[in-house]
Every structure is written in structure tokens, then in C-alpha cells.
């Protein structure tokens, strides 16, 4: 019996050793594969960091160029001031002309026209006087229009 037990335990030990050795082989293979992946990842991170550094350098260069560049903001402000002053003088001249025309009209017609400082009058346009019917027909005939035939006289 002792022999049979010894043989059984020896067989078990051998099978355990075989399992352990196959498990160890698999573990070693997985560990080597993991090291390869980690190495590849480290290389990719180095590549990424160098690209980011190049991008930051490019931003730095462009920021310096923009800071050195003169956009002519002061020139634009001066030109805007000149344009505004010219428009103001034009408005003043327009007021003078309007007053002069109002005075001329007042002198010719004898009625007083209110200036911009006083209360303005409402302007009511006068409709033109219609032409009598015979004059309209004459005008149509001389302009080359034909009289349309209608049931109404």
C-alpha cells in the first residue's frame, strides 16, 4: 500500500510540475508581450511629447510675430477722427445752405418758413391737377398710343 501511495503521489507531483511549468511558460510569454507593449507605448509617448513641443514652439513664434506686428490702430483712429471732423463741417455747411434756401424762398413768396430751431411745419404734398379728357386723348395720339375699344364711352 505504501508503494501504491508513493506512486500516486509521485504521479501527482509530476502532473503538478507539468502544469506549473506550462503555467510558468504562459506567464513568461505574457510578461514578454506586456513588456513589448509597454516599450511601444513609451516610444509613442515620446513621439507625442515631441510633437506637442513643436506645436508649442510654433504658437510661441506666432505670438511673438503678432506682438511685433503693427496693425496701424493709431492710424485708423486718426483717419476716423479726420473723417468725423469732415462730416461735421459738411453738416454745418448743409445747415447754412438750408437756411439760405429758406430765406430765399421766404423772400420770393413773402411767407415765413420755420427754421430747424423752431417748430417744423407738416408738409402736405399737393396732388397735380388732372388733365382734361380731350388733352389726354391728344397726348395719347401724339405719343403713338392707340385708343382701346371698350364698352364704356
DSSP annotation of 81 reads H
Tens digit of pLDDT for each residue in 78-109? Answer: 888 999 999 999 999 999 999 988 888 888 88
Phi/psi of residue 143, nearest 5 degrees: -85, -5
Q: How many domains does the chain have?
A: 2
Does 54 lie in the same domain as 19? yes
Residue 48's pLDDT is what?
A: 96
CB 127 within 8 A of CB 143: no
Low-confidence ranges of the chain (pLDDT < 50): 153
Residue 79 structural domain: 71-114
- Can you spell out the DSSP letters for 93-105? HHHHHHHHHHHHH
Three cell numbers written together for 28 = 513568461
**HSE toward the beta carbon, residue 76, CA cutoff 13 A:** 4
46 and 79 inside one domain: no
pLDDT value, residue 139: 56
**Which contacts qualify for 83-88: CB closer than 8 Å, 24 or more apart?**
none
Q: Is residue 107 part of a domain?
A: yes
| pLDDT computed for residue 78 by the predictor | 83
pLDDT of residue 4: 66
Q: Would you give the DSSP letter of residue 52?
A: H
- Same domain as 78, residue 29: no
For residues 107 and 59, state if they share a domain. Answer: no
Q: Which residue has the cell 476716423?
A: 80
In a domain, 136, yes or no: no
Instruction: With respect to residue 95, please indicate whether it lies within any of the assigned structural domains.
Output: yes
Residues 63 and 95 in one domain: no
Residue 57 belongs to some domain of the structure: yes
- Residues 29, 93, single domain; the answer is no
Amino acid at each position: 500500500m505504501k508503494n501504491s501511495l508513493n506512486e500516486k503521489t509521485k504521479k501527482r507531483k509530476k502532473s503538478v510540475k507539468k502544469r506549473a511549468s506550462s503555467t510558468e511558460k504562459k506567464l513568461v510569454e505574457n510578461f514578454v508581450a506586456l513588456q513589448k507593449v509597454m516599450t511601444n507605448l513609451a516610444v509613442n509617448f515620446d513621439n507625442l511629447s515631441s510633437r506637442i513641443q513643436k506645436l508649442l514652439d510654433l504658437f510661441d513664434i506666432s505670438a511673438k510675430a503678432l506682438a511685433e506686428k503693427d496693425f496701424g490702430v493709431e492710424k485708423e483712429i486718426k483717419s476716423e477722427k479726420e473723417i468725423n471732423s469732415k462730416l461735421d463741417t459738411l453738416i454745418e455747411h448743409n445747415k447754412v445752405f438750408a437756411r439760405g434756401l429758406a430765406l430765399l424762398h421766404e423772400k420770393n413768396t413773402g411767407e415765413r418758413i420755420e427754421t430747424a430751431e423752431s417748430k417744423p411745419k407738416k408738409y402736405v404734398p399737393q396732388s397735380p391737377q388732372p388733365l382734361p379728357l380731350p388733352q389726354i386723348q391728344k397726348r395719347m395720339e401724339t405719343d403713338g398710343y392707340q385708343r382701346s375699344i371698350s364698352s364704356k364711352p
